[in-house]
């Protein structure tokens, strides 16, 4: 059955007019859909219209298949998408509010070796409505103030749907652009295109090594884009948006944590307005080794002693299959 969540006001108006309604009812219907209401709950629509809608359409929301709450308060949802397939999204609670991590694709074709989502390859892009359905479902229970596009998928590999989702979050759900972050593994053309969108979204770069030869070992996209090209694109992004770049650096013990790794990272970030998030690896496979908390803090301390802004990102939800894709794999493997 056709869903309505993906329709804009004009499209909803056309549907309603065919049902004998006035076009202005589309605005009321859209407001209910944005809140996640079921047809039966849309109390300012007539009973007969609600009946006609449910006979011919579905709302198009995601369905929660499983919900796990960590001892630290992090909540992980496994959701079934309207168009088929499972994704995960995570809510992290901070002092300043709740942040939702949204998935933009089912699977991912970027193939980063440390990532569970990348190991299955790309299954399909999510539509704008499917991204929004993650927000709507979670926002019904937990008021979301920030959104990060860091779940499964490479957002810039699903560019148009992702940008439309960001604009809709801003205009329909009242999430400020500065409260939205997009994480990329470094798709240079995508970063440059995003820099021209006139959106003040925070750009997070998954760098993980400042050395091309090491990046190539863990991130196949490093064969297409050098660290220099990625950093140059990030500089343009900062110039256009004024938003400080976030560098994500997954720390892998014995791989990217040496003195020469720090030298390279300090060198490439020299003329870039950025903050470095050191993220201790959450081990997915046996090949890469997790660092201790002590190692992670020592790494960040060396960066700050050399003039960089750097912190260790606390690991949330580690007792509920914290790394992206782990819950989904557990479920599918049952």
Q: Which residues make up the interface to ligand SF4 (CB under 6 A)?
A: 108, 110-112, 115, 117-118, 152-154, 185
Cβ-closest residue to ligand SF4?
118
Report the first-to-last Cα separation within the chain, whole angstroms: 29
Which positions ≥6 away from 100 have C-beta within 8 Å?
A: 89, 90, 91, 134, 135, 138, 139, 144, 146, 147, 148
Q: What's the helix, strand, coil split of the chain in %, to 5?
A: 40, 20, 35
Q: C-beta of 121: minimal distance to ligand SF4 in Å? A: 9
Q: Which is nearer to ligand SF4, 289 or 305 (CB)?
A: 289
CA distances from residue 290 to 106, 222, 254, 314 in whole angstroms, order as listed = 26, 22, 9, 14
**Token pair recorded at residue 96:** 């300043």
Give me the least distance between CB of 321 and ligand SF4, in Å please.
Answer: 15
- Residue 320 C-beta: closest distance to ligand SF4, Å: 18
Q: What is the DSSP string of 136-165?
A: HHHHTTS-EEEEEE-SSS-GGGGHHHHHHH
Considering the complex, state which of residue 74 and residue 152 has its C-beta at the smaller distance from ligand SF4. Answer: 152
Give whichever of 16 and 112 is closer to ligand SF4, judged by the CB atom.
112
Task: Give the residue among 259, 257, 323, 245 at the shortest CA–CA distance from 74.
Answer: 323
* Residue 323 CB, nearest approach to ligand SF4 (Å): 9
Closer by beta carbon to ligand SF4, 49 or else 110: 110
Among 76, 154, 162, which residue's Cα sits nearest to residue 121?
Answer: 154
Which are the catalytic amino acids? 88, 324
CB of 157 vs ligand SF4, minimal distance in Å: 8
Nearer to ligand SF4, 42 or 150 (CB): 150
User: Which residue is listed with tokens 């979050």?
Assistant: 169
């Amino acid at each position: 059955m056709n869903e309505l969540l993906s329709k804009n006001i004009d499209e909803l108006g056309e549907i309603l007019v065919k049902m004998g309604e006035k076009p202005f009812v589309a605005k009321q219907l859209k407001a209910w859909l944005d809140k996640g209401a079921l047809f039966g709950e849309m109390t300012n629509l007539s009973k007969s219209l609600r009946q006609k809608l449910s006979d011919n359409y579905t709302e198009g929301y995601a369905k929660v298949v499983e919900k796990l709450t960590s001892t630290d308060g992090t909540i992980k949802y496994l959701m079934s998408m309207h168009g088929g397939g499972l994704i995960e999204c995570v809510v992290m609670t901070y002092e300043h509010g709740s942040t939702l991590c949204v998935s933009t694709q089912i699977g991912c074709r970027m193939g980063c070796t440390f990532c569970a989502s990348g190991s299955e390859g790309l299954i399909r892009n999510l539509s704008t409505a499917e991204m929004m359905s993650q927000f709507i479902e979670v926002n019904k229970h937990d008021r979301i103030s920030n959104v990060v596009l860091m779940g499964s998928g490479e957002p810039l590999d699903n560019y148009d749907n992702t940008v439309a989702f960001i604009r809709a979050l801003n205009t329909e759900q009242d999430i400020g652009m500065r409260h939205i972050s997009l994480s990329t593994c470094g798709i240079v053309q995508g970063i440059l295109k995003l820099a021209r969108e006139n959106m003040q979204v925070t750009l997070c770069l998954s760098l993980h090594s400042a050395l091309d030869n090491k990046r190539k070992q863990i991130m196949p996209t490093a064969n297409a884009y050098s660290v220099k090209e990625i950093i140059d694109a990030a500089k343009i992004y900062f110039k256009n948006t004024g938003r400080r770049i976030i560098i994500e650096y997954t720390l892998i013990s014995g791989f990217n944590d040496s003195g020469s790794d720090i030298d390279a990272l300090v060198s490439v970030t020299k003329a870039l307005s950025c903050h470095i998030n050191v993220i201790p690896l959450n081990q997915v496979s046996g090949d890469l080794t997790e660092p201790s908390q002590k190692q992670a803090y020592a790494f960040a301390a060396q960066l700050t002693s050399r003039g960089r802004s750097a912190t260790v990102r606390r690991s949330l939800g580690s007792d509920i299959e914290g790394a992206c894709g782990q819950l989904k794999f557990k479920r599918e493997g049952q």
